[in-house]
Amino acid sequence: MAHQLVIVLDFGGQYNQLIARRVRECGVYCEVKSYQTPIEEIKKLNPKGIIFTGGPNSVYEETSPHITKEIFELNIPILGICYGAQVIAYTLGGTVSPCDTSEYGKTDTHYDNSSILFGGINLPETASSWMSHTNYVSKLPDGFRRTAYTTNCPFAAFENAEKKFYAVQFHPEVNHTFAGQGMIDSFVKNVCGCVGDWTMAGYAKTAIEEIRAKVGDGKVLLALSGGVDSSVAAALLAKAVGNQLTCIFVDHGFMRKNEGDEVEQAFKNSGMNFIRVNAKKQFMAKLQGVSDPETKRKIIGEEFIRVFEQESKKIGKVDYLVQGTIYPDVIESGLGDAAVIKSHHNVGGLPDYVDFKEIIEPLRMLFKDEVRKLGTELGLSPVLVWRQPFPGPGLAIRIIGDITDEKLAILQDADFIFRQEIAEAGLDSDINQYFAVLTNMRSVGVMGDCRTYDYTVALRAVTTSDFMTADFAKIPYDVLAIVANRIVNEVKNVNRIVYDVTTKPPATIEWE
């Protein structure tokens, strides 16, 4: 089934994924593309609307990202956000200037509710919006009118309703903007005319049909980690091709404490063909002396593929490999000339040569919350659907620096205690992700009458609705005190515990 499409053109904005996610919350399918996407490709996509993201540059500088004027001649509605609003103004003959007073954070904004973007969403004449800019539109292009302003920004929103061009200097995609989701909904529904035909039930039906048609009578091998993504992919493939599917769980040795056994228990009697491969020695040998996180990810990614190839030969010719790649993996691994945040082992870590006819990634265009909805739609166990997120490289990227058996054991024990105490305190359903990190920092301590010089363990816990932005969890001090006391007393070679109080952005949720 062909869905109506809205595309997000990324100018290097930190919220590119979040904008797309907000559009999908409206029931409208959305994809993120580079601002350099050729006009001919955009025409072929036939989007119902286009959204320009924010970005860190100054649009009036020659080296900054720009867009061809042709895009405004496609008769497609356009919404510009922050830098994207400045792109619209600059490209169509307006003026963008440095701010006398920059605006950051919540800002009182005065709205003109006669705009289709703001009318009908119970928006008061003055409400908070989230600003983040050092430049502003100082003169509108011909044919545009102002629809919002602040004390320091004369054109906080503007539009050419006849041509269906809309621009906002603030960020409607973040929760801090009052009724921001309603503004995005107004754009995709009232301006673009989208009906909201994007559902997980529809996605499941279409995906199953497409997988059956692609695979035919071929054999399929699935890389099962036991995490949410690979578990949902397994459930989807099982419905599509039944016993043509073999699930291989490669235990690279970097799982959380007891987790390898738990994964095996969950899937061994599930009716799927399930094979566990204990490959810790193989992975450790490849990673010996490696400290760089990107190198770790790529080594683990390649080794994953090699193990799958070895196992597939044991079970006969396998035609397809399935991976649980999801959309944030794809975007964070690099989009056009956007910065690579981190390569993911199931995106950036693939070797050049893979001994399969094709790699199938049935979740590649889904966000994490959509994957969970799909899992529920497929009848997957809630224990698996709501499992804590865990990166493919596992604890290998939660050990800062090189990896040794000693460090791995330290982290497994410290992480186990942290997760155990969070559950004991009844906080496990309130915190979206929580884990321990073994830093490569050692410091002086005292235990008994003896001087110690041991490792520092960092605790990380975040609350988030979409894993694209996150706040650190406000864990009660008494709970943190229990965790810290247990780790330093029960885990050898640790004498200091720190708690990460950084949001995303500027940090990522993982440390590596």
Contact at 8 Å (CB) between 59 and 87? Answer: yes
Measure Cα distances from 224 to 29, 230, 273 in Å.
Answer: 27, 5, 11
Measure Cα distances from 290 to 281, 293, 346, 402 in Å.
Answer: 15, 8, 20, 5
| Bridge partner residues of 149 (DSSP) | 110
Closest among 477, 482, 468 to 501, alpha carbons compared? 477
Give the integer Cα–Cα distance in Å for 191 and 429.
38
Give the integer Cα–Cα distance in Å for 284 and 197.
47
CA angle, 130 as apex, 124 and 135 as ends, to 5°? 115
Question: Hey, which residues are catalytic here?
Answer: 82, 171, 173
Give the integer Cα–Cα distance in Å for 69 and 81.
17
Measure Cα distances from 130 to 57, 105, 451, 473, 498 in Å.
Answer: 18, 5, 50, 22, 31
E strands, 121-244, are 126-139, 145-149, 157-160, 165-168, 220-223
In 1-112, alpha helices (H)? 16-25, 39-45, 83-91
* Residue 119, token pair as written in the block: 């009318």
Contact at 8 Å (CB) between 124 and 118? Answer: no
Give me the sheet containing 29-34, strands edge to edge. 29-34, 5-10, 49-52, 78-81, 165-168, 157-160, 145-149, 95-111, 126-139
- Dump the DSSP string for 209-241: HHHHHHHTT--EEEE--SSHHHHHHHHHHHHHH
| Bridge partner residues of 9 (DSSP) | 33, 52
Closest among 67, 63, 27, 64 to 50, alpha carbons compared? 67
Contact at 8 Å (CB) between 186 and 113? Answer: no
Determine the straight-line distance between the first and last CA of the chain, rounded to whole angstroms. Answer: 39
Output b/e per residue, 146-167; b: 16+ Cβ within 10 A. Answer: bbbbbeebbbbbbbbbeebbbb
Name the percent of the chain in helix, strand, coil, to the closest 5.
Answer: 35, 25, 40
Measure Cα distances from 223 to 137, 161, 308, 330 in Å.
Answer: 50, 49, 8, 17
- Dump the DSSP string for 322-359: E----HHHHHHT--TTSPPS---TTTTT--S--SSSEE
DSSP state of 2: P
